[in-house]
Amino acid sequence: MSSMPCDLSVSSARADALFASALQRSDRPSPGQVRQAIAVAVARYGDPGCAARVAQAFGEYPETAVTRMRWARTMVALAVPATCLAA
């Protein structure tokens, strides 16, 4: 059995939601807090709204946005493991 790539769009959407959330790196959040922050951001802004907030941040504060997105992607990978399908 060979494995297929994970759906990166789901991970990206979760990272966008965490980026758009109020959760901060300095909070040193637990995996549960990360999952909750993602859920709250998606409920509040929707996927398109989270993506818009990411785009706005990269336009206004690119240096800060890069650091926050790196943190968001790392936290999503740790808190919400991707589900991959096997072929």
What does the pLDDT read at residue 80? Answer: 83
Q: Where are the domains of the chain?
A: 13-20+29-79
What does the pLDDT read at residue 7? Answer: 58
What does the pLDDT read at residue 1? Answer: 37
pLDDT digit string, tens, across residues 3-61: 445 556 889 999 999 999 999 999 999 999 999 999 999 999 999 999 999 999 999 99
The whole-model pTM stands at: 0.84
CA dist., res. 85 & res. 10, Å (int): 13
Task: Please enumerate, as own/partner, the contacts of 2-9 that have beta carbons within 8 Å and a separation of 24 or more.
Answer: 2/86, 2/87, 3/84, 3/85, 3/86, 3/87, 4/84, 4/85, 4/86, 4/87, 5/84, 6/82, 6/83, 6/84, 7/82, 7/83, 7/84, 8/82
The band of 82, judged by pLDDT with boundaries at 50, 70 and 90, is low
What does the pLDDT read at residue 85? Answer: 40
CA dist., res. 62 & res. 25, Å (int): 17
